[in-house]
Chains A and B, each alone.
Chain A
Amino acid sequence: MSEQSFLDHSHQRGFLECQIGSLLAALEHASRAERLAQAPGLLQRFDPRVRLIAMLVLIGLVVSTHSLTTLYGLLAAAALMAFVSRVPLTILARGIWLNVLLFTGALALPAIFLVPGDSVFHVPLLGWAMTMQGLESAAFLVGRALTAATFAGLTILATPWPHLLKALRTLGVPAVMVVILCMTYRYIFLLLQSALDMFEARRSRQVGRLTGAEKRHMLVANAGVLLSKSLHLADEVYLAMQSRGYRGEQHALLEFRMAPLDWTALAVLLAITSVAFRFQAWGLG
Protein backbone atom coordinates (compact mmCIF):
# COMPACT_ATOMS: atom_id res chain seq x y z
CA MET A 1 0.00 0.00 0.00
CA SER A 2 1.51 3.26 -1.01
CA GLU A 3 -0.84 5.34 1.10
CA GLN A 4 -0.94 6.09 4.77
CA SER A 5 -1.35 2.90 6.77
CA PHE A 6 -0.04 0.96 9.77
CA LEU A 7 2.13 -1.21 7.56
CA ASP A 8 5.87 -0.89 7.32
CA HIS A 9 7.15 0.82 4.23
CA SER A 10 10.56 -0.71 4.00
CA HIS A 11 11.40 -0.12 0.38
CA GLN A 12 12.84 -3.22 -1.18
CA ARG A 13 14.84 -2.97 -4.33
CA GLY A 14 13.70 -5.89 -6.44
CA PHE A 15 10.27 -6.29 -7.92
CA LEU A 16 9.51 -9.65 -6.30
CA GLU A 17 11.04 -8.55 -3.01
CA CYS A 18 8.75 -5.55 -3.12
CA GLN A 19 5.63 -7.71 -3.59
CA ILE A 20 6.72 -10.15 -0.91
CA GLY A 21 7.65 -7.30 1.40
CA SER A 22 4.24 -5.67 1.32
CA LEU A 23 2.42 -8.99 1.83
CA LEU A 24 4.74 -9.90 4.69
CA ALA A 25 4.18 -6.50 6.29
CA ALA A 26 0.46 -7.20 6.46
CA LEU A 27 1.03 -10.62 8.04
CA GLU A 28 3.50 -9.15 10.52
CA HIS A 29 1.11 -6.38 11.48
CA ALA A 30 -1.51 -9.03 12.20
CA SER A 31 0.73 -11.19 14.34
CA ARG A 32 2.01 -8.17 16.26
CA ALA A 33 -1.56 -7.10 16.96
CA GLU A 34 -2.43 -10.58 18.12
CA ARG A 35 0.52 -10.63 20.50
CA LEU A 36 -0.27 -7.22 21.97
CA ALA A 37 -3.95 -8.07 22.37
CA GLN A 38 -2.87 -10.73 24.87
CA ALA A 39 -0.73 -8.32 26.89
CA PRO A 40 -1.97 -7.52 30.42
CA GLY A 41 -2.58 -3.80 29.83
CA LEU A 42 -5.39 -1.47 30.81
CA LEU A 43 -6.97 -1.10 27.39
CA GLN A 44 -7.03 -4.87 26.94
CA ARG A 45 -9.29 -5.21 30.00
CA PHE A 46 -12.16 -3.15 28.65
CA ASP A 47 -15.13 -4.74 26.95
CA PRO A 48 -14.51 -4.69 23.18
CA ARG A 49 -17.72 -2.72 22.71
CA VAL A 50 -16.45 -0.02 25.04
CA ARG A 51 -13.17 0.10 23.16
CA LEU A 52 -14.96 0.43 19.84
CA ILE A 53 -17.30 3.16 21.06
CA ALA A 54 -14.45 5.01 22.74
CA MET A 55 -12.44 4.87 19.55
CA LEU A 56 -15.31 6.28 17.49
CA VAL A 57 -16.09 9.04 19.99
CA LEU A 58 -12.46 10.05 20.33
CA ILE A 59 -11.89 10.08 16.58
CA GLY A 60 -15.07 12.15 16.25
CA LEU A 61 -13.60 14.56 18.77
CA VAL A 62 -10.29 14.68 16.92
CA VAL A 63 -12.05 15.45 13.67
CA SER A 64 -14.44 18.07 15.01
CA THR A 65 -12.28 20.12 17.36
CA HIS A 66 -11.20 23.58 16.21
CA SER A 67 -8.53 23.87 18.87
CA LEU A 68 -4.93 22.82 18.37
CA THR A 69 -4.49 22.52 22.15
CA THR A 70 -7.32 20.01 22.41
CA LEU A 71 -6.00 18.15 19.39
CA TYR A 72 -2.48 17.72 20.69
CA GLY A 73 -3.81 17.12 24.20
CA LEU A 74 -5.71 14.15 22.80
CA LEU A 75 -2.55 12.94 21.10
CA ALA A 76 -0.74 13.05 24.44
CA ALA A 77 -3.65 11.17 26.02
CA ALA A 78 -3.41 8.52 23.32
CA ALA A 79 0.30 8.09 23.98
CA LEU A 80 -0.43 7.77 27.71
CA MET A 81 -3.09 5.17 26.96
CA ALA A 82 -0.54 3.23 24.90
CA PHE A 83 1.88 3.33 27.81
CA VAL A 84 -0.57 1.90 30.36
CA SER A 85 -1.72 -0.68 27.81
CA ARG A 86 1.82 -2.00 27.36
CA VAL A 87 1.89 -1.03 23.72
CA PRO A 88 5.54 -0.01 23.27
CA LEU A 89 5.99 3.55 22.05
CA THR A 90 8.41 2.27 19.42
CA ILE A 91 5.53 0.39 17.80
CA LEU A 92 3.41 3.53 17.80
CA ALA A 93 6.29 5.59 16.49
CA ARG A 94 7.41 3.22 13.77
CA GLY A 95 4.12 1.61 12.86
CA ILE A 96 1.83 4.63 12.97
CA TRP A 97 3.48 8.01 13.49
CA LEU A 98 6.24 7.53 10.96
CA ASN A 99 3.77 6.46 8.30
CA VAL A 100 1.44 9.36 9.01
CA LEU A 101 4.28 11.85 8.95
CA LEU A 102 5.67 10.44 5.73
CA PHE A 103 2.30 10.67 3.98
CA THR A 104 0.26 13.43 5.58
CA GLY A 105 3.32 15.36 6.67
CA ALA A 106 4.64 15.47 3.12
CA LEU A 107 1.20 16.35 1.85
CA ALA A 108 0.77 19.17 4.35
CA LEU A 109 4.18 20.71 3.73
CA PRO A 110 3.30 22.82 0.65
CA ALA A 111 0.28 24.19 2.50
CA ILE A 112 2.66 26.20 4.69
CA PHE A 113 3.41 28.29 1.62
CA LEU A 114 0.27 27.86 -0.42
CA VAL A 115 -2.32 28.89 2.14
CA PRO A 116 -2.62 32.64 1.89
CA GLY A 117 -2.39 34.76 5.02
CA ASP A 118 -0.01 36.73 7.22
CA SER A 119 3.53 35.87 6.24
CA VAL A 120 5.86 35.07 9.12
CA PHE A 121 9.01 34.08 7.30
CA HIS A 122 10.49 34.32 3.83
CA VAL A 123 12.59 31.47 2.53
CA PRO A 124 15.92 32.97 1.47
CA LEU A 125 16.65 32.96 -2.27
CA LEU A 126 13.30 31.45 -3.25
CA GLY A 127 11.34 34.22 -1.62
CA TRP A 128 8.46 31.93 -0.70
CA ALA A 129 6.32 33.27 2.12
CA MET A 130 5.53 30.99 5.01
CA THR A 131 2.17 32.03 6.42
CA MET A 132 0.75 31.76 9.91
CA GLN A 133 -2.42 30.34 8.43
CA GLY A 134 -0.42 27.83 6.44
CA LEU A 135 1.49 26.66 9.50
CA GLU A 136 -1.67 26.31 11.53
CA SER A 137 -3.50 24.43 8.81
CA ALA A 138 -0.57 22.02 8.44
CA ALA A 139 -0.60 21.57 12.22
CA PHE A 140 -4.32 20.78 12.09
CA LEU A 141 -4.02 18.28 9.26
CA VAL A 142 -1.02 16.45 10.68
CA GLY A 143 -2.37 16.58 14.24
CA ARG A 144 -5.74 15.16 13.24
CA ALA A 145 -4.24 12.43 11.08
CA LEU A 146 -1.72 11.50 13.80
CA THR A 147 -4.18 11.45 16.67
CA ALA A 148 -6.95 9.64 14.83
CA ALA A 149 -4.51 7.04 13.54
CA THR A 150 -3.12 6.58 17.06
CA PHE A 151 -6.56 5.93 18.55
CA ALA A 152 -7.49 3.59 15.71
CA GLY A 153 -4.13 1.83 15.88
CA LEU A 154 -4.27 1.43 19.66
CA THR A 155 -7.71 -0.14 19.51
CA ILE A 156 -6.61 -2.60 16.85
CA LEU A 157 -3.38 -3.45 18.64
CA ALA A 158 -5.14 -4.13 21.93
CA THR A 159 -8.19 -6.05 20.72
CA PRO A 160 -8.44 -9.49 19.12
CA TRP A 161 -9.86 -8.72 15.69
CA PRO A 162 -12.80 -11.12 15.82
CA HIS A 163 -13.93 -9.40 19.04
CA LEU A 164 -13.79 -6.01 17.41
CA LEU A 165 -15.81 -7.23 14.44
CA LYS A 166 -18.41 -8.73 16.73
CA ALA A 167 -18.57 -5.49 18.71
CA LEU A 168 -19.78 -3.83 15.49
CA ARG A 169 -22.99 -5.75 16.10
CA THR A 170 -23.81 -3.42 19.03
CA LEU A 171 -23.53 -0.43 16.69
CA GLY A 172 -26.40 -1.81 14.66
CA VAL A 173 -24.34 -3.46 11.94
CA PRO A 174 -26.52 -6.37 10.71
CA ALA A 175 -25.53 -9.90 11.70
CA VAL A 176 -24.99 -10.93 8.09
CA MET A 177 -22.42 -8.15 7.69
CA VAL A 178 -20.61 -9.24 10.83
CA VAL A 179 -20.52 -12.84 9.62
CA ILE A 180 -19.21 -11.74 6.22
CA LEU A 181 -16.63 -9.44 7.84
CA CYS A 182 -15.33 -12.23 10.07
CA MET A 183 -15.09 -14.53 7.09
CA THR A 184 -13.39 -11.86 4.97
CA TYR A 185 -10.88 -11.27 7.72
CA ARG A 186 -10.19 -14.99 7.94
CA TYR A 187 -9.71 -15.46 4.19
CA ILE A 188 -7.55 -12.39 3.71
CA PHE A 189 -4.80 -14.33 5.42
CA LEU A 190 -5.32 -17.46 3.36
CA LEU A 191 -5.15 -15.44 0.14
CA LEU A 192 -2.22 -13.36 1.42
CA GLN A 193 -0.38 -16.59 2.15
CA SER A 194 -1.26 -18.00 -1.29
CA ALA A 195 -0.04 -14.84 -2.98
CA LEU A 196 3.12 -14.93 -0.88
CA ASP A 197 3.76 -18.56 -1.85
CA MET A 198 3.35 -17.72 -5.53
CA PHE A 199 5.82 -14.86 -5.36
CA GLU A 200 8.28 -16.90 -3.27
CA ALA A 201 8.07 -19.80 -5.72
CA ARG A 202 8.71 -17.41 -8.57
CA ARG A 203 11.62 -15.80 -6.79
CA SER A 204 13.30 -19.15 -6.25
CA ARG A 205 13.22 -19.79 -10.01
CA GLN A 206 13.99 -16.27 -11.14
CA VAL A 207 17.31 -15.60 -12.80
CA GLY A 208 18.00 -12.35 -14.54
CA ARG A 209 15.83 -9.28 -14.64
CA LEU A 210 12.21 -9.11 -15.66
CA THR A 211 11.06 -6.51 -18.13
CA GLY A 212 8.14 -4.26 -17.22
CA ALA A 213 5.77 -6.18 -19.47
CA GLU A 214 6.89 -9.51 -17.98
CA LYS A 215 6.34 -8.18 -14.49
CA ARG A 216 2.85 -6.98 -15.32
CA HIS A 217 2.04 -10.24 -17.05
CA MET A 218 3.24 -12.24 -14.09
CA LEU A 219 1.36 -10.08 -11.60
CA VAL A 220 -1.90 -10.35 -13.50
CA ALA A 221 -1.41 -14.10 -13.91
CA ASN A 222 -0.89 -14.40 -10.16
CA ALA A 223 -3.99 -12.32 -9.52
CA GLY A 224 -5.82 -14.61 -11.94
CA VAL A 225 -4.77 -17.74 -10.09
CA LEU A 226 -5.88 -16.04 -6.90
CA LEU A 227 -9.21 -15.17 -8.50
CA SER A 228 -9.85 -18.76 -9.60
CA LYS A 229 -8.82 -19.94 -6.17
CA SER A 230 -11.22 -17.46 -4.57
CA LEU A 231 -14.14 -18.67 -6.67
CA HIS A 232 -13.36 -22.28 -5.85
CA LEU A 233 -12.90 -21.39 -2.20
CA ALA A 234 -16.33 -19.73 -2.08
CA ASP A 235 -17.94 -22.92 -3.45
CA GLU A 236 -16.17 -25.17 -0.98
CA VAL A 237 -16.78 -22.92 2.01
CA TYR A 238 -20.46 -22.86 1.14
CA LEU A 239 -20.54 -26.67 1.22
CA ALA A 240 -18.67 -26.73 4.52
CA MET A 241 -21.19 -24.26 5.97
CA GLN A 242 -24.14 -26.30 4.74
CA SER A 243 -22.61 -29.42 6.19
CA ARG A 244 -22.82 -27.85 9.63
CA GLY A 245 -26.42 -26.77 9.29
CA TYR A 246 -26.18 -23.43 7.45
CA ARG A 247 -29.49 -22.56 5.81
CA GLY A 248 -29.04 -18.84 5.20
CA GLU A 249 -29.39 -17.71 8.83
CA GLN A 250 -26.68 -15.64 10.43
CA HIS A 251 -25.76 -15.97 14.07
CA ALA A 252 -22.97 -14.39 16.02
CA LEU A 253 -22.39 -15.44 19.61
CA LEU A 254 -21.51 -12.40 21.68
CA GLU A 255 -19.39 -13.31 24.67
CA PHE A 256 -19.00 -9.85 26.13
CA ARG A 257 -19.95 -8.74 29.64
CA MET A 258 -19.86 -5.17 30.92
CA ALA A 259 -17.84 -4.87 34.14
CA PRO A 260 -17.69 -1.87 36.51
CA LEU A 261 -14.40 -0.94 34.85
CA ASP A 262 -16.22 -0.58 31.54
CA TRP A 263 -18.85 1.76 32.96
CA THR A 264 -16.06 3.82 34.50
CA ALA A 265 -14.37 4.02 31.13
CA LEU A 266 -17.58 5.22 29.51
CA ALA A 267 -18.02 7.87 32.22
CA VAL A 268 -14.45 9.10 31.71
CA LEU A 269 -15.06 9.21 28.00
CA LEU A 270 -18.18 11.30 28.52
CA ALA A 271 -16.23 13.67 30.77
CA ILE A 272 -13.41 14.09 28.24
CA THR A 273 -15.90 14.79 25.47
CA SER A 274 -17.82 17.41 27.39
CA VAL A 275 -14.63 19.11 28.59
CA ALA A 276 -13.33 19.23 25.02
CA PHE A 277 -16.53 20.79 23.79
CA ARG A 278 -16.60 23.33 26.68
CA PHE A 279 -13.06 24.20 25.87
CA GLN A 280 -14.06 24.93 22.33
CA ALA A 281 -17.14 26.89 23.37
CA TRP A 282 -14.97 29.13 25.56
CA GLY A 283 -12.85 29.80 22.55
CA LEU A 284 -9.68 28.63 24.24
CA GLY A 285 -6.71 27.25 22.39
Chain B
Amino acid sequence: MTVPAFELRDVEYRYQGVIALAGLSLVIPQGKRVVLLGANGSGKSTLLRLLDALYFPAAGQVLAFGEALDARRMANEDACFAFRRRVGFVFQNPDMQLFNASVFDELAFGPLQLHWPAERIRQQVETTLESMGLAHLRNRAPHRLSGGEKKRVALASVLILDPEVLLLDEPTASLDPESESQLIDTLIDWGGGAKTIVMATHDLDIVEDVADICVVMQQGRVIAQGTPGEILGDEELLGRTGLIHAHRHRHSHSGGAAHRHHHLHHGTRSTMPGATSKLVWRPLPRRKPEDA
Protein backbone atom coordinates (compact mmCIF):
# COMPACT_ATOMS: atom_id res chain seq x y z
CA MET B 1 0.00 0.00 0.00
CA THR B 2 1.31 3.46 -0.88
CA VAL B 3 2.04 5.99 1.84
CA PRO B 4 -0.78 8.44 2.49
CA ALA B 5 -0.44 11.91 1.00
CA PHE B 6 -0.82 13.42 4.45
CA GLU B 7 -0.96 12.07 7.93
CA LEU B 8 -1.65 14.28 10.95
CA ARG B 9 -1.01 13.07 14.50
CA ASP B 10 -2.46 14.98 17.48
CA VAL B 11 -1.83 18.28 15.77
CA GLU B 12 -2.32 21.43 17.81
CA TYR B 13 -2.19 24.95 16.42
CA ARG B 14 -2.80 28.31 18.05
CA TYR B 15 -3.59 31.46 16.14
CA GLN B 16 -2.90 34.64 18.11
CA GLY B 17 -3.29 32.76 21.38
CA VAL B 18 -6.57 31.11 20.40
CA ILE B 19 -6.61 27.37 19.83
CA ALA B 20 -7.48 26.73 16.18
CA LEU B 21 -6.67 23.02 16.00
CA ALA B 22 -6.90 20.90 19.14
CA GLY B 23 -5.35 17.45 18.90
CA LEU B 24 -6.40 16.73 15.34
CA SER B 25 -5.56 13.38 13.75
CA LEU B 26 -6.35 12.57 10.14
CA VAL B 27 -5.11 10.45 7.24
CA ILE B 28 -5.50 11.64 3.65
CA PRO B 29 -4.82 8.77 1.23
CA GLN B 30 -3.25 9.44 -2.16
CA GLY B 31 -5.57 9.64 -5.13
CA LYS B 32 -8.67 10.36 -3.07
CA ARG B 33 -10.86 13.43 -3.06
CA VAL B 34 -11.47 14.55 0.49
CA VAL B 35 -13.99 17.20 1.48
CA LEU B 36 -13.58 18.99 4.80
CA LEU B 37 -16.96 20.08 6.14
CA GLY B 38 -17.49 22.44 9.02
CA ALA B 39 -18.95 25.76 10.01
CA ASN B 40 -16.93 28.96 10.04
CA GLY B 41 -14.14 28.81 12.57
CA SER B 42 -14.10 25.02 12.76
CA GLY B 43 -10.45 25.00 11.69
CA LYS B 44 -10.76 23.96 8.03
CA SER B 45 -8.69 26.81 6.63
CA THR B 46 -6.05 26.41 9.31
CA LEU B 47 -5.81 22.71 8.54
CA LEU B 48 -5.30 23.42 4.83
CA ARG B 49 -2.55 25.90 5.64
CA LEU B 50 -0.81 23.33 7.80
CA LEU B 51 -1.05 20.82 4.95
CA ASP B 52 0.59 23.39 2.66
CA ALA B 53 3.41 24.00 5.17
CA LEU B 54 2.44 27.65 5.52
CA TYR B 55 1.83 27.16 9.24
CA PHE B 56 3.61 24.63 11.42
CA PRO B 57 1.94 22.86 14.35
CA ALA B 58 2.63 23.92 17.94
CA ALA B 59 2.40 20.26 18.97
CA GLY B 60 1.93 16.95 17.15
CA GLN B 61 3.22 15.99 13.75
CA VAL B 62 2.32 16.44 10.09
CA LEU B 63 3.67 13.89 7.61
CA ALA B 64 3.60 14.58 3.89
CA PHE B 65 4.26 11.58 1.63
CA GLY B 66 5.60 9.74 4.66
CA GLU B 67 8.10 12.39 5.69
CA ALA B 68 7.82 14.90 8.53
CA LEU B 69 6.70 18.32 7.29
CA ASP B 70 8.34 20.90 9.51
CA ALA B 71 10.11 24.25 9.32
CA ARG B 72 13.50 22.57 9.08
CA ARG B 73 12.55 20.56 6.03
CA MET B 74 11.07 23.61 4.33
CA ALA B 75 14.20 25.65 5.04
CA ASN B 76 16.08 23.39 2.64
CA GLU B 77 15.61 24.81 -0.85
CA ASP B 78 15.49 21.51 -2.73
CA ALA B 79 13.07 19.91 -0.29
CA CYS B 80 10.97 23.05 -0.28
CA PHE B 81 10.78 23.23 -4.09
CA ALA B 82 10.02 19.50 -4.30
CA PHE B 83 7.14 19.93 -1.87
CA ARG B 84 5.79 23.09 -3.53
CA ARG B 85 5.89 21.29 -6.86
CA ARG B 86 3.84 18.37 -5.51
CA VAL B 87 1.28 20.35 -3.51
CA GLY B 88 -0.75 23.28 -4.81
CA PHE B 89 -3.07 25.53 -2.83
CA VAL B 90 -5.98 27.57 -4.16
CA PHE B 91 -6.86 30.23 -1.58
CA GLN B 92 -10.40 31.21 -0.81
CA ASN B 93 -10.01 34.82 -1.87
CA PRO B 94 -8.54 35.05 -5.36
CA ASP B 95 -7.70 38.72 -4.77
CA MET B 96 -5.10 37.60 -2.30
CA GLN B 97 -3.77 34.88 -4.51
CA LEU B 98 -3.59 36.93 -7.69
CA PHE B 99 -0.83 39.32 -6.73
CA ASN B 100 0.75 39.80 -10.15
CA ALA B 101 -0.03 42.59 -12.58
CA SER B 102 -1.33 40.38 -15.41
CA VAL B 103 -2.74 36.92 -16.00
CA PHE B 104 0.40 35.90 -17.87
CA ASP B 105 2.63 36.92 -14.97
CA GLU B 106 0.33 35.18 -12.53
CA LEU B 107 0.78 31.86 -14.28
CA ALA B 108 4.50 32.38 -14.70
CA PHE B 109 5.09 33.17 -11.02
CA GLY B 110 5.23 29.60 -9.66
CA PRO B 111 7.47 28.21 -12.43
CA LEU B 112 9.78 31.24 -12.12
CA GLN B 113 10.18 30.67 -8.40
CA LEU B 114 10.96 27.01 -9.01
CA HIS B 115 13.71 28.01 -11.48
CA TRP B 116 12.21 26.53 -14.62
CA PRO B 117 14.01 27.62 -17.81
CA ALA B 118 12.42 30.70 -19.41
CA GLU B 119 11.50 28.96 -22.67
CA ARG B 120 9.72 26.14 -20.88
CA ILE B 121 7.82 28.65 -18.75
CA ARG B 122 6.59 30.57 -21.80
CA GLN B 123 5.46 27.33 -23.44
CA GLN B 124 3.79 25.98 -20.33
CA VAL B 125 2.00 29.27 -19.65
CA GLU B 126 0.57 29.32 -23.18
CA THR B 127 -0.52 25.66 -23.00
CA THR B 128 -2.17 26.13 -19.63
CA LEU B 129 -3.93 29.33 -20.71
CA GLU B 130 -5.22 27.47 -23.75
CA SER B 131 -6.42 24.38 -21.88
CA MET B 132 -8.15 26.42 -19.17
CA GLY B 133 -9.87 28.60 -21.77
CA LEU B 134 -8.06 31.70 -20.53
CA ALA B 135 -6.03 32.57 -23.64
CA HIS B 136 -8.13 35.68 -24.37
CA LEU B 137 -7.35 37.02 -20.88
CA ARG B 138 -3.58 36.63 -21.27
CA ASN B 139 -2.65 40.32 -20.79
CA ARG B 140 -5.62 41.24 -18.64
CA ALA B 141 -4.99 42.81 -15.22
CA PRO B 142 -6.54 40.88 -12.31
CA HIS B 143 -8.78 43.78 -11.32
CA ARG B 144 -10.42 43.58 -14.73
CA LEU B 145 -11.48 39.93 -14.30
CA SER B 146 -14.89 38.71 -13.16
CA GLY B 147 -15.21 36.61 -10.02
CA GLY B 148 -15.40 33.36 -11.97
CA GLU B 149 -12.44 34.32 -14.17
CA LYS B 150 -10.36 35.20 -11.12
CA LYS B 151 -11.06 31.80 -9.63
CA ARG B 152 -10.10 30.07 -12.87
CA VAL B 153 -6.87 32.07 -13.14
CA ALA B 154 -6.04 31.24 -9.52
CA LEU B 155 -6.64 27.55 -10.27
CA ALA B 156 -4.57 27.75 -13.46
CA SER B 157 -1.70 29.44 -11.61
CA VAL B 158 -1.53 26.39 -9.34
CA LEU B 159 -2.26 23.69 -11.93
CA ILE B 160 0.54 24.95 -14.18
CA LEU B 161 2.99 23.20 -11.83
CA ASP B 162 1.03 19.96 -12.33
CA PRO B 163 0.92 19.14 -8.61
CA GLU B 164 -0.05 15.73 -7.22
CA VAL B 165 -2.15 17.19 -4.46
CA LEU B 166 -4.52 20.11 -4.76
CA LEU B 167 -5.72 21.96 -1.65
CA LEU B 168 -8.74 24.22 -2.11
CA ASP B 169 -10.28 26.59 0.40
CA GLU B 170 -13.97 27.28 -0.32
CA PRO B 171 -13.48 27.04 -4.08
CA THR B 172 -17.13 27.72 -4.88
CA ALA B 173 -17.63 30.64 -2.52
CA SER B 174 -19.11 33.67 -4.30
CA LEU B 175 -19.34 31.92 -7.67
CA ASP B 176 -22.45 31.98 -9.79
CA PRO B 177 -24.02 28.55 -10.48
CA GLU B 178 -22.51 28.24 -13.96
CA SER B 179 -18.95 29.12 -12.88
CA GLU B 180 -19.42 26.77 -9.95
CA SER B 181 -20.34 23.79 -12.10
CA GLN B 182 -17.51 24.59 -14.55
CA LEU B 183 -15.07 24.62 -11.67
CA ILE B 184 -16.34 21.33 -10.25
CA ASP B 185 -16.10 19.72 -13.70
CA THR B 186 -12.51 20.91 -14.05
CA LEU B 187 -11.63 19.47 -10.67
CA ILE B 188 -13.26 16.10 -11.34
CA ASP B 189 -11.58 15.73 -14.74
CA TRP B 190 -8.22 16.96 -13.52
CA GLY B 191 -5.47 14.38 -14.01
CA GLY B 192 -7.96 11.74 -15.07
CA GLY B 193 -9.38 11.68 -11.54
CA ALA B 194 -6.23 10.11 -10.13
CA LYS B 195 -5.00 13.13 -8.18
CA THR B 196 -5.46 13.88 -4.50
CA ILE B 197 -7.82 16.74 -3.69
CA VAL B 198 -8.48 18.21 -0.26
CA MET B 199 -11.26 20.76 -0.33
CA ALA B 200 -12.71 22.78 2.52
CA THR B 201 -16.31 23.86 2.07
CA HIS B 202 -19.64 24.32 3.73
CA ASP B 203 -21.43 24.03 0.44
CA LEU B 204 -23.18 20.68 0.80
CA ASP B 205 -24.37 20.98 -2.81
CA ILE B 206 -21.04 19.98 -4.26
CA VAL B 207 -20.06 17.25 -1.80
CA GLU B 208 -21.62 14.28 -3.56
CA ASP B 209 -20.26 15.30 -6.95
CA VAL B 210 -16.73 15.64 -5.72
CA ALA B 211 -15.99 13.68 -2.59
CA ASP B 212 -14.72 10.17 -1.98
CA ILE B 213 -14.34 10.90 1.72
CA CYS B 214 -16.12 13.43 3.91
CA VAL B 215 -14.49 14.78 7.06
CA VAL B 216 -16.61 16.81 9.48
CA MET B 217 -14.79 19.28 11.71
CA GLN B 218 -15.87 21.20 14.75
CA GLN B 219 -13.82 23.38 17.10
CA GLY B 220 -10.50 22.27 15.70
CA ARG B 221 -11.22 18.52 15.83
CA VAL B 222 -12.40 15.84 13.43
CA ILE B 223 -15.72 14.66 14.81
CA ALA B 224 -16.88 12.40 11.98
CA GLN B 225 -15.55 10.82 8.83
CA GLY B 226 -17.17 8.67 6.14
CA THR B 227 -18.51 8.42 2.62
CA PRO B 228 -20.67 11.31 1.37
CA GLY B 229 -23.74 9.08 1.70
CA GLU B 230 -23.03 8.31 5.34
CA ILE B 231 -22.29 11.88 6.33
CA LEU B 232 -25.03 13.60 4.35
CA GLY B 233 -27.52 11.05 5.63
CA ASP B 234 -26.79 11.92 9.25
CA GLU B 235 -29.07 14.89 9.69
CA GLU B 236 -28.50 15.07 13.42
CA LEU B 237 -24.70 15.39 12.89
CA LEU B 238 -25.11 18.08 10.26
CA GLY B 239 -27.51 20.05 12.43
CA ARG B 240 -25.24 19.79 15.44
CA THR B 241 -22.24 21.06 13.46
CA GLY B 242 -24.14 23.96 11.95
CA LEU B 243 -23.99 22.64 8.39
CA ILE B 244 -27.73 22.70 7.97
CA HIS B 245 -30.03 25.03 9.75
CA ALA B 246 -33.65 25.56 10.60
CA HIS B 247 -35.13 28.66 9.12
CA ARG B 248 -38.39 30.25 8.27
CA HIS B 249 -39.61 30.35 4.72
CA ARG B 250 -42.72 29.95 2.61
CA HIS B 251 -43.46 26.88 0.57
CA SER B 252 -45.49 27.59 -2.52
CA HIS B 253 -47.23 24.23 -2.21
CA SER B 254 -48.46 24.85 1.33
CA GLY B 255 -50.47 27.90 0.44
CA GLY B 256 -47.85 30.40 1.48
CA ALA B 257 -47.93 29.53 5.20
CA ALA B 258 -44.65 30.07 6.95
CA HIS B 259 -43.28 27.24 9.07
CA ARG B 260 -40.02 26.25 10.64
CA HIS B 261 -38.12 23.05 9.90
CA HIS B 262 -34.70 21.66 9.04
CA HIS B 263 -33.45 21.69 5.51
CA LEU B 264 -31.06 19.35 3.90
CA HIS B 265 -30.31 19.53 0.29
CA HIS B 266 -27.92 17.57 -1.81
CA GLY B 267 -27.63 15.82 -5.10
CA THR B 268 -30.09 17.94 -7.01
CA ARG B 269 -27.71 20.61 -8.12
CA SER B 270 -27.70 20.13 -11.83
CA THR B 271 -30.73 17.91 -12.33
CA MET B 272 -33.50 20.11 -11.00
CA PRO B 273 -33.04 23.66 -12.08
CA GLY B 274 -35.52 25.89 -10.34
CA ALA B 275 -36.87 23.06 -8.20
CA THR B 276 -38.60 24.01 -4.97
CA SER B 277 -35.83 22.57 -2.85
CA LYS B 278 -33.30 24.63 -4.80
CA LEU B 279 -35.30 27.73 -4.18
CA VAL B 280 -35.80 27.27 -0.48
CA TRP B 281 -32.40 25.96 0.43
CA ARG B 282 -29.85 28.60 1.09
CA PRO B 283 -26.27 27.81 1.93
CA LEU B 284 -25.02 29.12 5.24
CA PRO B 285 -24.18 32.79 5.09
CA ARG B 286 -20.81 32.89 3.44
CA ARG B 287 -18.07 35.00 4.72
CA LYS B 288 -17.48 37.83 2.38
CA PRO B 289 -14.01 37.69 0.85
CA GLU B 290 -13.17 40.94 2.64
CA ASP B 291 -13.74 39.41 6.07
CA ALA B 292 -11.64 36.37 5.35
Touch test A–B (CB under 8 Å): yes
Q: Which residues of A contact B (CB under 8 A)?
A: 30-31, 34, 160-162, 165, 182-183, 185-187, 189-190, 193-194, 229, 233, 236-237, 239-247, 249, 251-253, 255
A240 contacts B121, C-beta separation under 8 Å:
no
Instruction: Report Cα–Cα, A103/B107, bound state, in Å.
Output: 42
Q: How far is the CB of B140 from chain A (nearest CB, A)?
A: 8
A245 contacts B80, C-beta separation under 8 Å:
yes
A-B contact count (CB 8 A): 93
Residue B142 lies at the interface, judged by CB distance under 8 Å to chain A: yes
B101 contacts A186, C-beta separation under 8 Å:
yes
A186 with B139, Cβ < 8 A, contacts A236-B93, A244-B84 known: no
Q: How far is the CB of B232 from chain A (nearest CB, A)?
A: 30
Residue B61 lies at the interface, judged by CB distance under 8 Å to chain A: no
A162 with B141, Cβ < 8 A, contacts A240-B96, A244-B109, A251-B112 known: yes
What is the size, in residues, of chain B's interface with A at 8 Å between Cβ atoms?
Answer: 41
Which A residue's beta carbon lies closest to that of B89?
A243
A244 contacts B158, C-beta separation under 8 Å:
yes
Chain A at the B interface: SS class = helix
Cβ contact of B100, chosen from A182, A243, A255, cutoff 8 A: A182
B118 contacts A237, C-beta separation under 8 Å:
no
Residue B110 lies at the interface, judged by CB distance under 8 Å to chain A: yes
A244 contacts B54, C-beta separation under 8 Å:
no
B81 contacts A189, C-beta separation under 8 Å:
no
Chain B at the A interface: SS class = helix
Residue B98 lies at the interface, judged by CB distance under 8 Å to chain A: yes
A240 contacts B91, C-beta separation under 8 Å:
yes
Q: Which residues of B contact A (CB under 8 A)?
A: 49, 52, 54, 77, 80-81, 84-85, 88-89, 91, 93, 95-102, 104-105, 108-110, 112-114, 118, 121-122, 139, 141-144, 157-158, 161, 290, 292
Q: How far is the CB of A193 from chain B (nearest CB, A)?
A: 7
Cβ contact of A161, chosen from B77, B96, B108, B141, cutoff 8 A: B141
* 26 pairs from A and B in contact (CB 8 Å cutoff): A34-B141, A162-B100, A162-B101, A162-B139, A165-B101, A182-B100, A182-B101, A182-B105, A183-B99, A183-B100, A183-B101, A185-B101, A186-B101, A186-B143, A190-B143, A194-B290, A229-B290, A236-B91, A236-B292, A240-B99, A243-B88, A244-B109, A244-B110, A245-B84, A247-B77, A253-B112
- Residues of chain A with a CB closer than 8 A to B84's CB: 243-245
B101 contacts A161, C-beta separation under 8 Å:
yes
